[in-house]
Amino acid sequence: MALQCPACEQPALTVTASRELGPDERSDERSLQVVRCGVCGFGAIAFYEESRRGAGESFHHDGYYAPAEVVDALEKALAGGGVDDQEGILYDAGGARYSSFPIRFLPD
């Protein structure tokens, strides 16, 4: 299965770094990723989400444009560099926590 680059449209986009974040209220699998194109060098942040609940399987795989330095920093963090997985939550060497959280609406 090839992933198409949104910049040059070639089937050369690959996931170069990925971290599973564990399940949440909606999905069984969630991964924060960096994707890059082997032809033109395009890079972006991506999020993969898969659910096996209810009627059948469904997944979403979306890319997000971001400044090159942000993509580079995330790729480095996800690839290792002092980051440890603990129960699907990411911690860096300083103990800072990287995971996701639901944004809750509170009425005024």
Site for Zn ion, rule CB under 5 A: 5, 7-8, 37, 39-40, 42
Q: How far is the CB of 36 from Zn ion (least distance, A)?
A: 9
Q: How far is the CB of 4 from Zn ion (least distance, A)?
A: 9
The maximal CA–CA distance of the chain, rounded, in angstroms, is: 50
The closest alpha carbon to 15, from 23, 25, 5, belongs to: 5
Structural contact between residues 13 and 3, judged by C-beta atoms closer than 8 angstroms: yes
Query: Quick one: 42 or 48, whose CB is closer to Zn ion?
Result: 42
Query: Quick one: 37 or 90, whose CB is closer to Zn ion?
Result: 37
Query: Quick one: 14 or 100, whose CB is closer to Zn ion?
Result: 14
Sign (positive/negative) of CA torsion 91, 81, 31, 7?
positive
